[in-house]
Structure 1
Amino acid sequence: MDTVQRVFKGTFIHSTHTCAMEVLENHILGTSNAGKILFFEEAREQTRLVQKWGFEESNIEELGKNAFFMPGMVDTHIHAPQYSFIGTGMERPLLEWLKHTTFPIEDTYADVEIASNVYNSVVRRTLKNGTTTACYFATIHTDASILLADIASVYGQRAFIGKICMDSNNTYPQYKENTEESIEETKRFVEVLKKKKYDRVKPIVTPRFAVTCSENLLNKLGTLAEEHQLHIQSHISESLAEIEEVLNLFPGYKNYTDVYDRNKLLTDKTVMAHGCHLSNEELLVFREKGAAISHCPNSNISLCSGHLDVQNILKHKVKLGLGTDIAGGYSISLLDSIRKAIETSKIIFMEKQKRQRENNEIDILQRKMAAHGINSNVNNSVMEMENNHNVLSIKEAFRLATLGGSEALSIDHITGNFEVDKEFDALLIDPEAIDSPFEVFYDIPKEEIIQRFLYLGDDRNISAVYVAGRCVVPFHTNS
């Protein structure tokens, strides 16, 4: 029998495959030395659990009255080197921003000292903000990318690390590789990470996006991922200008999704960032392949790329998680992603309401014209009723940041909620922390406290972060 390492008692919230958010008060959870959840039951079962598992009741760690545990958050799309210029240079659209800000700075990461400084900072900052799993883009530099993997492992973060591959860069020509070099260095990167045998840090095949990759490179990366059963990440349909450029570069393909699909880069281990302008036809391909989308609402707004219709993604049963996409997004916190995902959903809802009102006005005008024997030339197709659009709820957005993210990365059998046998990735939330950004004035339902944290809270309310049972924040705690 596994040995009980720690036992917690209090309120826990998480998502399941059938419920966006469960609030479980007065529960007890035990973890093993290996960091897995041994039991998770109502606290009234405490005596039986003590007898079964042989732990001391005096060792039970009871949470404060308003405190609660939630699963660690999963950032399905983040650019680690871009942390150095987060919150700057955002006055340009995507392709111009890449040319003038991103590529020149990423090019400096050939210097591992520069990389070390930034990568240590970004891993610490993401962990402090509750990101227990991060899916990182690095740069084209293999040694610096290996360094990022080392740093994530040292701090205990669960991570996918991607050495970027790009053999074409017309906007900043000095920042690219030749095709064979990109493939060979990616192979070296994968081999080194496998030899290191990290517990929770894995390589991920990372063509930057189709604009910076030749067909030959995409095809070889797809083959490499297939041979080694590797995860894959890239960008897709972030902006209209990007889509136009892809169609110009790949005239033999029917759409953006087809470029990745025909080169074996759409699998059940693929996560594609953005997808703002994917057609329903493309979403059907995503569902068929089991590929996921990373919703990055802050970046989508900040770079004026577009809005992702989350309800349409969910309707098509495509896996979906949230991403910060720093530095296209200006916040490193997934709490911001939760909030902006909800706001984006409301914007789309209001836009659809406006179109519906316009359609109704046209319908009324056509009826009046018909009553007077006047034929209308207005296209009847614009009068089709909008599909019902439900605004994304706080509970659904919470799910996307936790279990949804683990599903998108195909690790939901390992983490994402508090099911028994999963690893204990968790955040201990204290709504009454010193200098908390919000107050709890009197007794209110636990669900209202949770909502206040999700809408108003920040890292000051995250008093502890656990990855696979290990307390990784505060940073001096190694238990």
Structure 2
Amino acid sequence: MAPRNKLFLGLFIHSTALNELEYLHNTAVCVDGKGTIVAVEKDCDEDKAKQTVFPRLGWVEAEVEVVKAEEGQFFFPGFIDTHIHAPQYPNAGIFGDSTLMDWLDTYTFPLEASFSDLAKAHRIYNRVIRKTLSHGTTCAAYYATIHVPATNLLADLCHERGQRALIGRVCMDQTPPAYYRDESAEASLAATRASIAHIRALDPTHSLIRPIITPRFALSCTFPLLQQLGTLAAETGLPIQTHISENKTEITLVKQHFPRSLTGAADDSYAGVYDAAGLLTARTVLAHAVHLTEGEAALVARRGAKVSHCPCSNSALGSGAAPVRRLLDRGIGCGLGTDVSGGYSPSVLEAARQAVLVSRHVVFMGEAGGGRERAKLSVEEALFLATRGGAEVVGLEGRVGWFGVGMEWDAQLVGLTVVREDGEVEEGDGGGDVDVFGWESWPDRVAKWVYNGDDRNTKQVWVRGRVVHTRK
């Protein structure tokens, strides 16, 4: 049976600019069987849509599925997680007293190395996909492991479950323990090509799944491997994801491992190493960027590379507070990443909440420079980063992130708990901790959702018009 056309009715909220949300009350959005928005009609109820919009679209009423937002509910674009380590999900919330480098050796590498066991990989990957979808994440940029079969399995499962994803086999031929690294730069490149070939065969048009070239971070790769991956990116036109300037110790080690005499870079900065290898491009996603120098920020901006801001992880591992406003003012596109399991939660809403709070810490610590108060991010700005900003970071800005004709229907239905006059709520509401009493403005309600919401508020999720999660 061909996918049905769908009519969505109610309140739609989305970002129209970095600091602006648009509230489309009493609106009808029509989505065709391919999952594309074909009409957005304001001041339109079901009867009006059937009488005026359906004939214009050539739709037959009996063949259209109708979905209505009820009282206290609204449609919102799906979240985009621009940085998440899928195999690390079982370790979410486990840090000990570690900082980044110790944490990798103690918790991360041993877990990832075990993904040679495909049954274990299946169990974990299936869970992390289900969990992120339940939090409204319609697209995720996943790091996998060095194992080709397990990486391919992650792509297969995302495709089967309907989650949009960028899937990257992790490349590393130095620094991690000998039990968990590629044998050589050549072996790493060959394994990466094999995974790319599998994903391309799985989804030739990249309608849902796309491969992404993934040097883990500079210290994990020899410079010849970085160069070969840069060449591969230029050859294939594929996006790139990696880490940069997350931790001060890491930055010092990068300078020691990659002197200018080795790389030929203009300087020995972290960004300079990637640039010399051909890995700093308009398709590059740089996670963290906590401690970028002014020169590095300028270089990143010139190359058009983007940043995934991971506030939960940066706080949990004690890496620092990224000055996001300074990056935005430089013209650097930014999105949000959960960075599971450096980050403790698979929720992009939690990342948005922490992005607002961490921006205040930047002010408290005096790291914002002039105009310190400007460093603070608003709720509206955090939600932009979670949706439209994230879409730009992963190269999907023309397809998802807001509600407009021609965009694909990646969306979530959010429900807040409406408190009755007697102080009770409807039986079975299950709305979580976001209570609304009726006198709040919608901007206030959205703020309450950002600060108090969780997956209990995510009632239904769609990717390209397909239902991929329903809360029971």
TM-score by length of 1: 0.89
Match of 2:181 in 1: 176
1:124 is paired with a residue whose SS is helix
2:326 is paired with a residue whose SS is helix
Match of 1:423 in 2: 408
Deviation sequence 1:178-229 (CA, Å, 0-9, x none): 2111000101111111112263011100000001100000000010111011
CA distance in 2: counterparts of 1:306 and 1:128, whole angstroms: 29
Deviates more, 1:393-402 or 1:172-181: 172-181
Please point out which of 51, 65, 86 is paired with 2:71: 65
Match of 1:360 in 2: none
Match of 1:289 in 2: 303
CA distance in 1: counterparts of 2:201 and 2:65, whole angstroms: 38
Kept in 2, the 8 Å contact 1:426–1:466? The answer is yes
Kept in 1, the 8 Å contact 2:324–2:375? The answer is no
CA distance in 2: counterparts of 1:129 and 1:3, whole angstroms: 25
Match of 2:395 in 1: 410
Please point out which of 45, 50, 53 is paired with 1:49: 53
Kept in 2, the 8 Å contact 1:104–1:172? The answer is no
The runs of 5 or more residues in structure 2 that have no matched partner are 418-428
**1:57-96 alignment, distance < 5 Å:** 60-96=66-102
Deviates more, 1:292-301 or 1:4-13: 4-13
Deviation at 1:51, TM superposition (A): 2.9
Please point out which of 300, 315, 320 is paired with 1:301: 315
Match of 1:11 in 2: 11
Alignment pair present for 1:470 and 2:466: yes
**1:374-453 alignment, distance < 5 Å:** 389-432=374-417, 433-453=429-449
Match of 2:426 in 1: none
CA distance in 2: counterparts of 1:188 and 1:217, whole angstroms: 16
Letter in 1 for 2:253: E
CA distance in 2: counterparts of 1:161 and 1:459, whole angstroms: 24
Change (3 A) 1:300 1:19: closer
Please point out which of 140, 143, 148 is paired with 1:134: 140
Letter in 1 for 2:252: E
Deviation sequence 1:105-137 (CA, Å, 0-9, x none): 111111111111100000000001111000000
CA distance in 2: counterparts of 1:131 and 1:64, whole angstroms: 22
Letter in 2 for 1:145: T
Match of 1:232 in 2: 240
1:136 is paired with a residue whose SS is strand
Deviation at 1:24, TM superposition (A): 1.4
Please point out which of 362, 365, 368 is paired with 1:348: 362
Deviation at 1:55, TM superposition (A): 4.5
| Bigger CA radius of gyration | 1
Alignment pair present for 1:206 and 2:206: no
1:190 is paired with a residue whose SS is helix
Give the aligned CA root-mean-square deviation in angstroms: 2.0
Kept in 1, the 8 Å contact 2:156–2:202? The answer is no
Kept in 1, the 8 Å contact 2:171–2:214? The answer is yes
2:374 is paired with a residue whose SS is coil
2:23 is paired with a residue whose SS is strand
CA distance in 2: counterparts of 1:249 and 1:410, whole angstroms: 31
CA distance in 2: counterparts of 1:457 and 1:475, whole angstroms: 14
Deviation sequence 1:63-85 (CA, Å, 0-9, x none): 11221000000000000000011
Kept in 1, the 8 Å contact 2:81–2:141? The answer is yes
Sequence identity of aligned pairs in percent?
38
Deviation at 1:60, TM superposition (A): 3.9
Kept in 2, the 8 Å contact 1:130–1:465? The answer is yes
Letter in 1 for 2:236: H
Kept in 2, the 8 Å contact 1:72–1:465? The answer is yes
Please point out which of 169, 190, 202 is paired with 2:196: 190
CA distance in 1: counterparts of 2:54 and 2:34, whole angstroms: 19
Change (3 A) 1:388 1:424: same
CA distance in 1: counterparts of 2:450 and 2:18, whole angstroms: 21
Deviation sequence 1:222-278 (CA, Å, 0-9, x none): 101110111100000000000000000001141100111111111111101000001
CA distance in 1: counterparts of 2:371 and 2:406, whole angstroms: 44
CA distance in 2: counterparts of 1:59 and 1:291, whole angstroms: 41
Deviation at 1:3, TM superposition (A): 9.5
Match of 1:268 in 2: 282
CA distance in 2: counterparts of 1:62 and 1:404, whole angstroms: 27
Match of 2:40 in 1: 40
CA distance in 2: counterparts of 1:59 and 1:117, whole angstroms: 34
Match of 2:420 in 1: none
CA distance in 2: counterparts of 1:438 and 1:244, whole angstroms: 44
CA distance in 2: counterparts of 1:142 and 1:223, whole angstroms: 20
Match of 1:332 in 2: 346
Letter in 1 for 2:229: L
Change (3 A) 1:18 1:450: closer
Deviation at 1:390, TM superposition (A): 4.0
CA distance in 2: counterparts of 1:3 and 1:438, whole angstroms: 34
CA distance in 2: counterparts of 1:18 and 1:152, whole angstroms: 30
1:70 is paired with a residue whose SS is strand
CA distance in 1: counterparts of 2:338 and 2:141, whole angstroms: 10
CA distance in 2: counterparts of 1:344 and 1:180, whole angstroms: 41
CA distance in 1: counterparts of 2:138 and 2:362, whole angstroms: 30
CA distance in 1: counterparts of 2:146 and 2:233, whole angstroms: 17
2:460 is paired with a residue whose SS is strand
CA distance in 2: counterparts of 1:445 and 1:388, whole angstroms: 25
Deviation at 1:43, TM superposition (A): 2.6
CA distance in 2: counterparts of 1:390 and 1:36, whole angstroms: 37
Deviation at 1:90, TM superposition (A): 3.9
Letter in 1 for 2:70: G
Please point out which of 225, 248, 262 is paired with 1:217: 225
Match of 1:165 in 2: 171
TM-score by length of 2: 0.90
Change (3 A) 1:121 1:431: same
Change (3 A) 1:456 1:185: same
